[in-house]
Structure 1
């Protein structure tokens, strides 16, 4: 990241407030102006009692799979509350690099992650998960997560249990506080974030927001953005972590080097 030079670039950062600080600092260090605008709040699941009960039974599982960094943070917080330690007998997998990084921070040494695409399909492509007959798998996720991972693992012989350890809530927010001519590019890291940003913008701000370039985490995010109504350039980060997001912003800047200021057509209201 030493070669990252984002001078004069204004970046809308839509991560939850507690997860945005590191990325904002990295952007500022690279010369960009970070504009925090959380479009998600992370809170307890509606059935916290069930989550606590499941955490107390980790030794019953062969595999623990974490869907996101939020899942890691919330699951380990529950483990600490319930005086539970990660059993040595459990194998651990993560959907992407940022999730694996969070596990490594918590002293989990061996984590299975996808080698290419960082999503459920990428994890399912790993040979370690191809034959799970008779094994029990616990998937830590947020409420309302995708079902493809669990269903496919069941088809491959596993007994699968899902546990929701957090809930995503759309916060109150107003893009009136963000000058429309100051946003060059926005970082949005989930489908729900993409949709929440669009809804929070409302018709008043969607007119210019739809032209703003986006950095996203996956091809699924790209497709979601297009379906939602975004028409600007969409860059998929090569890595699902802060370094990958910064590199994607730099990639966008390099392609648009001739542009000195914010996008000219945002003033048109197109």
Structure 2
């Protein structure tokens, strides 16, 4: 029997930093064969989704008294059941992953095992931050150090030796105790001005990279409140390739406040992060269900009777498709009705739901839809899937052309009432360079929430409609996107950053 098919064997597989594309070929092959996957809690859901659909997924929840041997005993128990067992570990199994502790029960039980390496957080973070961990001039050695030592360890970290280390230091799990170990390094002789780079959620859509110094690190981490996991790189290599990073990451050292609703900022944050920006997410509106689903459900049941069903947002598509599936219906329930989308994002959402879109205007706003649809037929029936608030232009234009128009609220856009105190604290300590404003409702809520602060930030508007709302409320945007898309708003900021002040 080929070794890949042997059951009753434990495979320790490195999951890498989080992006499924960075999983090794060997790791992927084993993951797709596993009967059971015992995984670290921080392994991304995207990687876990690569396991076969009937695989059992068991998260490992660490507690203060767990040394790893309890997980090892679980692996023994599962393998003795004749299962194909994969122990999926974040990063590389051999680096700060309690591998030896988990291996001990497996070895004592005489169970065969395999170790499949993964991309460790240090090298992944360095790549994402465009930092070379070694350098012929500044660093001919690299030290991997844990920032969260076991309390019972008999020989704690020797900070005096570490402070004089002639190379690059990479701290794993170091955010929580950064104030302690950074102070120890300075007390032991390391320069307070030593460059530091922090990479949070490396390779994931919400990745953030922050530049600091050893002295300022603790304050910066407190202000930014970077989520785990995070890797901290210390040494002259952090600034050595500054020119290269500035060329490849034109938004390096820029802080951008993203105000889209929770769960809808990933694409924008990912785009900014790839360009070197650090992103802070503070939604200004919530997207919640309508007061009742009755009207939308009825519209879905009678959707076949319309000539056109028009979707005015991604959220409208999500609600419509969700309720359609709740009723055990699919695209056949729409009969001969044609579908229209206000823009490319809404179009993509329809395609992802398996629904073919018949019309997308070049002009990404209600005027574009009205111009393209009003003369598409004579006295047609239109169903508009929309939010609880927004302009009535499309309905008015279609009715003026003699069409019958029904509107259904598929979701409610609700203002955020206040900013959490922790985020207020971050605003007090950080310099915000840009704020993105991607709808009129977000503009109105942002001005109410941020008040005078907003006047000190550069404002990127997604469309002429949003710009008009901002100006009406006393804020003139710094830039406006050429087209109302994620790419449009990113490019608008890039152009502004490349244009010298005063030109």
TM-score bucket (shorter structure)? 0.7 to 0.9
Taking structure 1 as reference, are residues 13 and 133 closer, same or farther at Cα in structure 2, changes over 3 Å only? same
Structure 2 counterpart SS, 1:137: strand
Please point out which of 213, 237, 240 is paired with 2:481.
Answer: 237
Distance 1:85 1:3 in 2: 45
Match of 2:46 in 1: none
Match of 1:196 in 2: 445
Q: Are the aligned partners of 1:12 and 1:185 in contact in 2 as well (CA < 8 Å)?
A: yes
Q: Are the aligned partners of 1:69 and 1:98 in contact in 2 as well (CA < 8 Å)?
A: yes
Match of 1:96 in 2: 343
Following superposition, the deviation at residue 232 of structure 1 comes to 5.0
Structure 2 counterpart SS, 1:214: strand
Match of 1:182 in 2: 431
Aligned-pair Cα RMSD in Å: 2.1
Structure 2 counterpart SS, 1:141: strand
Following superposition, the deviation at residue 74 of structure 1 comes to 1.1
Following superposition, the deviation at residue 244 of structure 1 comes to 1.9
Q: How does 1:248-267 map to 2 (within 5 A)?
A: 248-256=492-500
TM-score by length of 2: 0.47
Distance 2:380 2:285 in 1: 34
Following superposition, the deviation at residue 39 of structure 1 comes to 0.5
Structure 1 counterpart SS, 2:279: strand
Q: How does 1:29-48 map to 2 (within 5 A)?
A: 29-48=274-293
Distance 2:269 2:364 in 1: 23
Distance 1:8 1:67 in 2: 35
Distance 1:256 1:72 in 2: 41
For residues 73-110 of structure 1, the C-alpha deviation after alignment (integer angstroms, 9 at most, x for no partner) is: 11111111122223251111111222222222223333
Structure 2 counterpart SS, 1:179: helix
Match of 1:75 in 2: 320
Distance 1:217 1:186 in 2: 11
Moved more, 99-108 or 142-151: 99-108
Q: How does 1:96-175 map to 2 (within 5 A)?
A: 96-115=343-362, 117-126=363-372, 128-174=373-419
Distance 1:88 1:177 in 2: 53
Q: Are the aligned partners of 2:374 and 2:397 in contact in 1 as well (CA < 8 Å)?
A: no
Q: Which runs of 5+ in 2 are unaligned?
A: 1-246
Q: Are the aligned partners of 2:249 and 2:274 in contact in 1 as well (CA < 8 Å)?
A: no
Please point out which of 465, 490, 498 is paired with 1:246.
Answer: 490
Distance 2:385 2:277 in 1: 35
Q: Are the aligned partners of 2:460 and 2:477 in contact in 1 as well (CA < 8 Å)?
A: no
- Runs of at least 4 residues of structure 1 off by over 6 A? none
Q: Counting helix residues as a fraction of each chain, which structure ranks higher?
A: 1
